[in-house]
Amino acid sequence: MDSFLYFCTLEEIKSNKEDNMAGLYEQIINQLFKAKLEKYDRKIYHIGMKEIGRDEAIQYLSRYLYALIQNTIDDVAEQENGVEKCIQFTNDVIKELGEKFAIENYEDDLVDASNSILTSVIDKTKCDYPDLQKYIQRITPLTSLTKSSLFTGAKNSVNMISELKKEILSADKIYIVVSFIRLSGLNMMLPELQEFVARGGCLRVITTTYMQITEYKAVEKLSKLAHTEIKISYHSDLDRLHAKAYVFMRDSGFHTAYIGSSNISHAALTEGLEWNVKVTQMELPHIFATVKNTFDTYWEQDVFETFNLNRDSERLKKALDKNAQTSEGIDYSVLDLMQAKEYQNDILDRLEKERRYHNNWRNLVVAATGTGKTVIAAFDYKRFKEQHTKANFLFVVHREEIIKQACATYRAVLGDPNFGDMWYGGHEASSYSHLFASKDLLNNRLDKLQLPDDYYDYIVFDEAHHIVADTYQKILHKFKPKVLLGLTATPERMDNNDITQYFNHQISAEIRLDTALNNRLLSPFHYFGITDSVDLSEVKWERGRFVASELSKIYTNNDLRTNIIFKTLEKYLPSYNDVRALCFCVDQQHANYMNAKFTLAGLKSAVLTSENSKYRNVEIKRLAEKKINYLFVVDMFNEGIDIPAIDTVLFLRPTESLTIFLQQFGRGLRKAKDKKYLTVLDFVGHSRAEFNYMDRFRALMGRTSMSVKEEVEKDFPHLPLGCTIQLEPKAKEYIIQNINGYINSFKKTRIIQTIKQFEQKFSEPLSLASFLRLTHVPLEKLYYNGTTWNSLCCLAGVTTKESELNAELSRAVSKKWLSTDSYSYFSFIHNLAARRFKVSEGLLTPREQKMALMLYYDLYISAGEYDSLQLMFNRLSEDEFFADEVCQLTEILMSRCNALEQDDNSAFRDSFPLKLHGVYTKAQIQVAIETSTLQKMSPSREGCERNTLNGIPMEAMFVDVIKDREEGSNTNYKDFAQTAVKFHWETQNSVRQESPTGQSYIKGSREMLLFVRKQRNAAENKYRTLGYVYLGKVTLDSFEGNKPMQIVWNLKTPMPGSVYEYAATLANV
């Protein structure tokens, strides 16, 4: 059903004519509206409605009542003794609510009958003004503290600067974020700020050096104020910080904030056509909370650095000097002050996971140029060196010019200015123990070094796509390091050599596209899905791809399609003669055909494939210099080819491999001077169901809370910063059809048929692992609605013996294990299955007994199926087919684990079954905290559960960062990460600071454990509930407010980068 709600005010409903009601609404349907709607002919009118959820009920019903009560009071107030009647009415409502819903101490909310409101409480002993009324008039804003206002700079309206002065004088804390600060603006409010800090007020200011508009003297003056902290972004590319906000916090709770277009300058605050909205805590608490929380989050970001006048004055002067020369690349002088960024920590965690869980010490890292590969490698070595203090190190570079840069990076990250020796032409190394070397020089002198094969513990190959070259091969075969780390932006080669063969045939880690885009490491993209005239639904499909020769026949000599391409260029490109475009074709014939057509049309183009690769450098240079505008290529645009200025990509063929698609896409994402974004023109025709649009759009969008189909249908409301996706109507229809077809291709009957034909088709023995690897059927499609691998094989006739526990196993996988990410837990289950569950409960440790109980609740819906765990083991051991499948299955699940688990950091660590940063279902967690036992299952569905473990009171907090039915809201974030070690959390609505629960938080009388997930349900499967990441013990950092309380927790251990990425909902800098 459509997600429209009807909304308009009561007066509008009464006055609307029946022929004037069409449109969008968001309104509770009252009886009057219901009667009007019943008159509409459903054959002519569509009436869209949806059910009201719990969160929506709070918003809509309270707003509806507010409007009704306001209208009623407005009428009554005009009557004789109207105000008294209104007060009585208000108290009657409060009393009714209190008695009906058993609200404690509701009498405290009854309105006093004195017909007055409180306007101020002034401590006379701390006030130097003899005339209190004049003082109060001086500090009280003319605009309301409870009603929001708009400032437009119009004549005869309240002046913005005069209001800001009054706000300053009456505030207790002030938070300001502006793009720039000018002395002309600061001087106007400086006396008030001086008075504010003199009485103990605290001031925090965030600003930038962007475009050198901020004036040094203004920052200097601010920094000399007492109780004042300033943070500055020195990033010249931080052009996205256009926020201008002035937040005034009052101990009375009557907070206000000004949000709009005014920086701190005379023109912006007095005479400019600036629009600013004053938001009050009392009227718009959700907006105010978002402003305050966003400021707090920005304040904790590394990009904003604390300004110390004595330490940073020269740095700031230089940053604000418009004549200063800007240097290229990283400022290595400050790297020693840095910590790894969250996206870099994510890569580092994945490398550690590969080594710890899979014993894979030959690791390939793929990341686009400019995303900090060398910095990641330096931090990885730093981690390794902490465990291997005497480790010898070798960094092999392809080009001598980057040796100095690489060495400087390592020195900065390690905090050791003397680390490493450099060895290249004209520069000899004094020691080989920590060496940055040119591959040519090292290769030439390798035999003379007389170093043992195991001399180096850790070797890095920069630009590892060259590793197949003889110069690299000699080095590679000489040394046998503990760690071999390869770094590359382009893992594929034009000669089809597979570089992953030197890294255990896999890529260990790569920076996801959305992560790189959101961190401004790459240029944003503008993607256009163009309706293609070609129907591919009948083109032959073999081994996961279209048959290239058939595609080439369809695309070559197709003038209709060529004309569509030309019209597309004219429609979407600013100038088709002023671009640097890569155009991906099927084969040489297709590329030559397209080049001929473009040349005939007067466009400057060329062809580059493996067949004419000797002209590669020439054509690349011509494209970079715009001597040609279109370069037609086949397959990959690869090794050593790097043109940052590429601003357009044309997909003239379907690219079946997601990996290849993203690497082709990425060719245009490099940042370059004067390049604002990449334009992508993808020609979308009616395709086969096997062709997977779903995964490619998920990769472009990143991890959103919607399914890909919903994102497509709703025109992609969630995309990385600065990016857009626009689909032509028919192309959109084709894509939705394709997604539906792709999903339906995994229906049970098709899976059974594929199992039957597997060995004939793939010439490989059938097993669960081989089936998943070769057919690309998602694991969840095998364990759906009661099916298992065993049951499907029985239906396919490849086995005749069926497990009696298939229903239990199917439930465990679909409801629990697909939502679990814990190598330690799956390893425990695997060991049980390998022993055919023939184990003795009495020989299990307390921790293992809890994990066994977790397994019980994975398999069974309720408590009481067995009187003991031993009886469960006995039953499971009777079914050999169950044990066989669990053994296979847990091997696969362990190989897919992404969580890098750490030992628990709580008081319960000795017997606690959960590992820090593992992902667990709520039922598994309830076993761990002992609210579920074998005899009794926890009934709690609340966001908190309390218990006493080992004599210690504890509380588990369960957090959904994105709440149910919150999609589309930009302001309703209540629980979020401020940093990797600080988490903002909102209590239940009933909690006051003075309540027993509030006091337990403030005094720390319970061991607090934090469990976080992005949202309740999986984006692509709304029926699968996601697990929680265990973030471990937290302690109180700060708190404020009542009913609910706002609490910031300190994490004892930083959260993983992958969690921070979605939990930091307000961090977009």
Instruction: Please check whether residues 561 and 544 belong to one and the same domain.
Output: yes
pLDDT of residue 19: 54
Q: Cis (ω within 30 of 0) for the bond into 1056?
A: no
Q: Which pLDDT score, from 0 to 100, does residue 970 have? A: 41
pLDDT of residue 328: 41
Q: Are residues 585 and 497 in the same domain?
A: no
**Residue 918 falls inside a structural domain:** no
| Domain membership flag for residue 903 | no
Predicted confidence band at 1067 (pLDDT cuts at 50, 70, 90)?
low
Q: Are residues 703 and 625 in the same domain?
A: yes
Please report whether residue 863 resides in a domain.
yes
4 domain-assigned: no
Residues 967 and 1027 occupy one common structural domain: yes
Q: Confirm whether 121 is domain-assigned.
A: no
433 belongs to a structural domain? yes
The pLDDT score that the predictor gives to residue 964 is 67
State how far the Cα of 672 lies from the Cα of 991, in Å rounded to an integer.
52
490 pLDDT higher than 80: no
In this prediction, residue 643 carries a pLDDT of 79
How many domains in the chain?
6
- Residue 329 forms part of a structural domain: no
pLDDT score, position 341: 82
Do residues 371 and 501 both lie within one domain?
yes
Q: Is 714 helix (H, G, I), strand (E, B) or coil?
A: coil
- Report the 10 Å Cβ neighbour count for 547: 13
Give the model's pLDDT for residue 520. 84
If pLDDT is split at 50, 70 and 90, which confidence band does 336 have?
Answer: very low
- H or E stretch at 787: none
In single-letter form, the type of residue at position 455 comes to Y
Contact 964, 55 (CB under 8 A): yes
Q: Residue 966: pLDDT above 80?
A: no
Distance CA 562, CA 963 (A): 48
Residue 932 to residues 674, 780, 850, 860, 928, Cα–Cα distance (Å): 60, 27, 10, 13, 8
**Strands 1007-1013 and 1028-1040, how do they pair?**
antiparallel
Do 520 and 594 belong to one domain? yes
Instruction: Round to whole Å and give the CA distance between 474 and 725.
Output: 47
Q: Are residues 387 and 437 in the same domain?
A: yes
Task: Look up residue 46 and give its DSSP letter.
Answer: -
For the chain, first and last CA: distance in Å? 37
Whether 634 and 592 map to the same domain: the answer is yes
Q: Are 496 and 531 in contact (CB under 8 A)?
A: no
Taking each continuous run of H as one helix and of E as one strand, the counts in the chain are 37, 32
Strands (E), 332-392: 362-366
One-letter amino acid at 275 equals W
E strand residue ranges, 339-392: 362-366
Q: Which of 450, 482, 511 is the last residue of a domain?
A: 511
Given 478, 511, 544, the domain boundary residue is 511
- Stretch among 48-62, 430-444, 678-692, 857-871 having the lowest mean pLDDT: 48-62
SS3 annotation, 456-498: CCEEEECCHHHCCCHHHHHHHHHCCCCEEEEEECCCCCCCCCC
Task: Judge whether residue 55 has pLDDT over 60.
Answer: yes
Shared domain check, 401 and 274: no
What is the per-residue burial (b if ≥16 Cβ within 10 Å, else e) of 519-537?
bbbbbbbbbbbbbbebebe
Report the CATH number that the domain containing residue 245 is assigned in CATH: 3.30.870.10
Q: Which of 744, 771, 789 is the last residue of a domain?
A: 744
- What are the phi and psi torsion angles at 865 (to 5°)? -65, -35
Cα–Cα distance for residue pair 941/937, rounded to 1 Å? 12
Q: pLDDT per residue over 220-244, tens digit each? A: 999 999 999 999 998 765 556 788 9
Same domain for 365 and 296 = no
More confident residue, 692 or 825: 825
Q: Where are the alpha helices (DSSP H) in 745-899?
A: 748-762, 768-775, 779-782, 789-796, 806-811, 823-834, 846-859, 869-877, 880-895
Q: Are residues 71 and 171 in the same domain?
A: no
Residue 969: its pLDDT value, please? 44
pLDDT-derived band at 495, boundaries 50, 70, 90: low
Across the range 765-778, mean pLDDT stands at: 91
Q: Which residues contact 267 (CB under 8 A, 6 or more apart)?
A: 184
- Give the whole-number percent of the chain exceeding pLDDT 70: 93
Determine, yes or no, domain membership for 652: yes
Give me the chain's average pLDDT, please: 89
Distances 611 to 100, 144, 589, 607 between C-alpha atoms, Å: 83, 75, 11, 10
Q: What is the pLDDT of residue 635?
A: 66
How confident is the model over 279-299, as a mean pLDDT?
92
Q: Residue 679 — pLDDT band, cuts 50, 70, 90?
A: very high
Residue (of 521, 504, 403, 416) closest to 460 by Cα position: 403
pLDDT in tens, 441-459: 898 888 888 899 999 999 9
User: Are 863 and 1005 within one domain?
Assistant: no
Whether pLDDT at 189 is above 80: yes
Sign of CA pseudo-dihedral 5, 8, 10, 12 = negative
How many angstroms separate the CA atoms of 349 and 632, rounded?
Answer: 39
What the block records as the tokens of 66 is 């507010």
* Mean pLDDT for the stretch of residues 200-204: 97
Predicted confidence at residue 705, as pLDDT, reads: 78
Domain that holds residue 991: 940-1063
**Band of residue 333 on the pLDDT scale cut at 50, 70, 90:** very low
Identify whether the C-beta of residue 171 lies closer than 8 Å to the C-beta of residue 164: no
d(CA 11, CA 976): 39
Q: Which residue did the predictor score with more confidence, 859 or 558?
A: 859
pLDDT at 157 over 90: no
pLDDT at residue 7 tops 50: no
Whole-number CA gyration radius for the chain: 33
